[in-house]
């Protein structure tokens, strides 16, 4: 899973070092877009959920499918009360060798797929993933593919920030990389004198 | 027994540190007709004796499906048993709805036990008069639990409750060590033999017992009468035809089967022992 570290306040790029992906329990990873304060609220809910799950101390644990379903219920019920949590969530994980990836929107629309995205990612990243995703992608190739998507988003989404993290979930657990920047290229000739042919410009 | 002074309320301790009302409730379980359960690593079998009050009436339902992966057999006040089954079904379905995943049976029995405990500590309530043998699956495989009216629960390899359950327990104690690795069919066979032990001389027929199975990859279901009768015949006839052979085989499977003693002159015409 990949995300950048930006959190906007309307059109202002307010915070540029926000971790928008968090491990949940032993088996899952949550990634979120949208209102950060609502993400923090969701993390509190999940924290309590995992706490009670651990307190049973009985060898059973909530896997990514269960967490995804729980989040769906939370988001949908808030939507029904006309007080939504303003987030789009991505929930991924591995449990007992089974991989899981799903998404929930702020109105409770939820589904699983081999590749999911939030916000502009649906328009810019998923077409790339539809073409280039394969069942047997290696980890390194997967990272390259995600970086390709993030680069496109960086160029084209004005709320994007050039500081990203990649998260890896395996049977052993979750690891989130340190933040790093993508290499970009701006030396197109058209950028040199952008207004040279426009009317009324100098 | 001299314990009448402290047994009026469930909220009254006796000087010896006992709650008599709770003990009386456990007595009610012992009066109910027998129910037995046994489990292997992957399957649980529940069986019970169903005696109708008269030939005119139907049998009481003592085995309930709680979810695809959990079933319960009860002994005692069956009305209390129905109420608790309804609670268990409700818990399972709510969990399934929220998490799209089956409720681990170990968690259900704890909730059930906590519910029973409440009734041992309120002056306006009485303890449930039913013992429950809960069989179900969770991440680590198949489990069998026994829930008491006292609010205690224990996990078992095999157990029997209700009247004349001691006979079944004795049989199970001899065989239980092999249950973990038993096949599904062997487990059912052992269940039927255990039920036969509680009948003490009466002929085992599918009309007086109920058998239910659940396992990994096999949702809970009650076996139909035909299948049960077939299994009874399969295993009983083997004994009747060659009892000497069996004993000589020295597997020490069981003592002289009671079915052999009564010559089966009139199949099914013999009046039932109530």
Whether A66 and B99 lie within 8 Å, measured CB to CB: yes
Q: CA-CA distances (angstroms) from residue A187 to A78, A157, B19, B216?
A: 47, 19, 86, 62
- Are the beta carbons of A91 and A64 closer than 8 angstroms? yes
Count of C-beta atoms within a 10 Å radius of residue A88: 21
- Whether ipTM tops 0.95, in short, is no
SS3 B75: strand
Strand residue runs (E) in A105-191: 110-112, 164-170, 173-176
A162 vs A153: CA distance, rounded Å = 10
> Which structure tokens are listed for B184?
């599904």
Query: What pTM does this model have?
Result: 0.86
Please state the φ and ψ torsions of residue B153, each to the nearest 5 degrees.
-140, 150
* Cβ–Cβ below 8 Å for B99 and A60: no
Tokens matching residue B37: 């359960």
Per-residue pLDDT at B187:
95
Long-range CB contacts (< 8 A, 24+ apart) of A118-124? A118/A31, A118/A32, A118/A33, A118/A34, A118/A88, A118/A89, A118/A90, A119/A33, A119/A34, A119/A88, A119/A157, A120/A153, A120/A156, A120/A157, A121/A149, A121/A153, A124/A149, A124/A152, A124/A153, A124/A156, A124/A157
pLDDT of residue A192: 85
Q: Say which residue, A188 or A99, is predicted with more confidence.
A: A99
Nearest-CB residue to A66 (from B100, B106, B138): B100
The rounded mean pLDDT for chain A is 95
Q: What's the pLDDT tens digit per position in A34-53?
A: 999 999 999 999 999 999 99
Question: What pLDDT digit, counting tens, does each position of A47-83 carry?
Answer: 999 999 999 999 999 999 999 999 999 999 999 999 9
User: For each of chain B's 274 residues, which pLDDT tens digit applies?
Assistant: 555 889 999 999 999 999 999 999 999 999 999 999 999 999 999 999 998 888 888 888 999 999 999 999 999 999 999 999 999 999 999 999 999 999 999 999 999 999 999 999 999 999 999 999 999 999 999 999 999 999 999 999 999 999 999 999 999 999 999 999 999 999 999 999 999 999 988 889 888 999 999 999 999 999 999 999 999 998 875 444 444 444 444 444 444 444 444 444 444 445 444 4
For B210-226, the pLDDT digits (tens) are 999 999 999 999 999 99
Distance from CA of residue B9 to its chain's centroid? Answer: 29
3-state secondary structure labels for all residues of A21-37: EEEECCCEEEEEEECHH
Q: Which DSSP helix (H) or strand (E) runs through A89?
A: strand A87-95
With CB atoms and an 8 Å threshold, state whether A70 touches B99.
Answer: yes
Cα separation, B144 vs B146, whole angstroms: 7
Q: Is B184 exposed, middle or buried (0-12, 13-18, 19+ CB in 10 A)?
A: middle
Task: Judge whether B160 and B74 are in contact, CB under 8 Å.
Answer: no
Q: What are phi and psi of B33, to 5 degrees?
A: -75, 155
Three-class DSSP category at B150: coil
Between A142 and A197, the more confident residue is A142
User: What pLDDT does residue A45 have?
Assistant: 97
Q: How far is B103 from chain A (nearest CA, A)?
A: 10
What pLDDT is recorded for position B202? Answer: 87
B171 sits in which H/E element: helix B165-175
Which run of H or E residues covers position B94? Answer: helix B78-99
Q: Are B99 and A56 inside 8 Å of each other by CB?
A: no
Element housing A148 (H / E): helix A139-156
Share of chain A above pLDDT 90, in %: 91
Task: Judge: A65–B99 Cβ closer than 8 Å, yes or no.
Answer: yes
Q: Smallest CA–CA separation between A178 and chain B, in Å?
A: 32
CB spacing of B98 vs A69 below 8 angstroms:
yes
Q: How far is CA B190 from CA B36, B85, B183, B234, B245, in A?
A: 10, 26, 11, 13, 19
State the pLDDT at residue B66.
97
C-alpha–C-alpha distance, residues A42 and B56, integer Å: 60
Length of chain A (residues): 202
Closest CB to B106 among A60, A61, A62? A60
Between CA A183 and CA A199 the distance in angstroms is: 33
Of the candidates A167, A171, A1, A166, the one whose C-alpha atom is nearest the C-alpha of residue A89 is A1
CB pairs under 8 A between A and B: 34
* CA-CA-CA-CA dihedral for B240, B245, B248, B253, to nearest 10: -40
């Amino acid at each position: 899973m990949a995300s950048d570290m930006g959190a906007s306040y309307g059109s202002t790029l307010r915070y540029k070092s926000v971790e928008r992906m968090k491990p949940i329990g032993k088996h899952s990873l949550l990634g979120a877009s949208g209102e950060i304060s609502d993400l923090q609220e969701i993390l509190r809910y999940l924290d309590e959920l995992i706490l009670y799950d651990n307190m049973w101390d009985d060898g059973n644990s909530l896997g990514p499918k269960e967490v995804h379903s729980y989040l769906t219920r939370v988001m949908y019920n808030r939507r029904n009360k006309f007080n939504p949590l303003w987030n789009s969530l991505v929930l991924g994980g591995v449990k007992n060798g089974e991989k899981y990836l799903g998404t929930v929107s702020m109105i409770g629309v939820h589904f699983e797929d081999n590749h999911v995205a939030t916000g502009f990612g649906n328009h810019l990243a998923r077409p790339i993933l539809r073409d280039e995703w394969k069942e047997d992608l290696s980890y390194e190739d997967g990272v390259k593919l995600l970086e390709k998507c993030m680069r496109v988003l960086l160029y084209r989404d004005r709320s994007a920030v050039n500081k990203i993290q990649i998260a890896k979930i395996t049977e052993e657990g979750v690891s989130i990389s340190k933040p790093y920047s993508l290499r970009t290229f701006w030396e197109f000739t058209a950028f040199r004198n952008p207004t040279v042919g426009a009317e009324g410009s100098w | 027994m001299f314990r009448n002074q402290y047994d009026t309320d469930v909220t009254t301790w006796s000087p010896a540190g006992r709650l008599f009302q709770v003990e009386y409730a456990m007595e009610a379980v012992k009066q109910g007709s027998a129910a037995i359960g046994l489990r292997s690593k992957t399957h649980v079998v529940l069986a019970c004796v169903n005696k109708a009050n008269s030939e005119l009436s139907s049998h009481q339902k003592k085995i309930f499906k709680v979810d695809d992966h959990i079933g319960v057999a009860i002994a005692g006040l069956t009305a209390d048993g129905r109420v608790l089954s309804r609670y268990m079904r409700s818990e399972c379905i709510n969990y399934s709805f929220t998490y799209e995943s089956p409720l681990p049976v170990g968690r259900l029995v704890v909730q059930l036990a906590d519910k029973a405990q409440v009734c041992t500590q309120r002056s306006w309530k009485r303890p449930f008069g039913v013992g429950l043998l809960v069989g179900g699956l969770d991440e680590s495989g198949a489990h069998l639990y026994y829930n008491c009216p006292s609010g205690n629960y224990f996990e078992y390899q095999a157990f029997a409750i209700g009247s004349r359950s001691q006979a079944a327990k004795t049989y199970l104690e001899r065989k239980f060590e092999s249950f973990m690795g038993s096949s599904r069919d062997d487990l059912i066979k052992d269940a039927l033999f255990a039920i036969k032990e509680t009948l003490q001389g009466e002929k085992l027929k599918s009309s007086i017992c109920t058998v239910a199975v659940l396992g990994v990859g096999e949702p809970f279901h009650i076996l139909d009468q035909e299948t049960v009768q077939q299994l009874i015949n399969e295993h009983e006839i083997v004994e009747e035809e060659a009892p000497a052979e069996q004993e000589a085989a020295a597997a020490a499977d069981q003592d002289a089967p009671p079915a052999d003693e009564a010559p089966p002159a009139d199949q099914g015409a013999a009046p039932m022992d109530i």
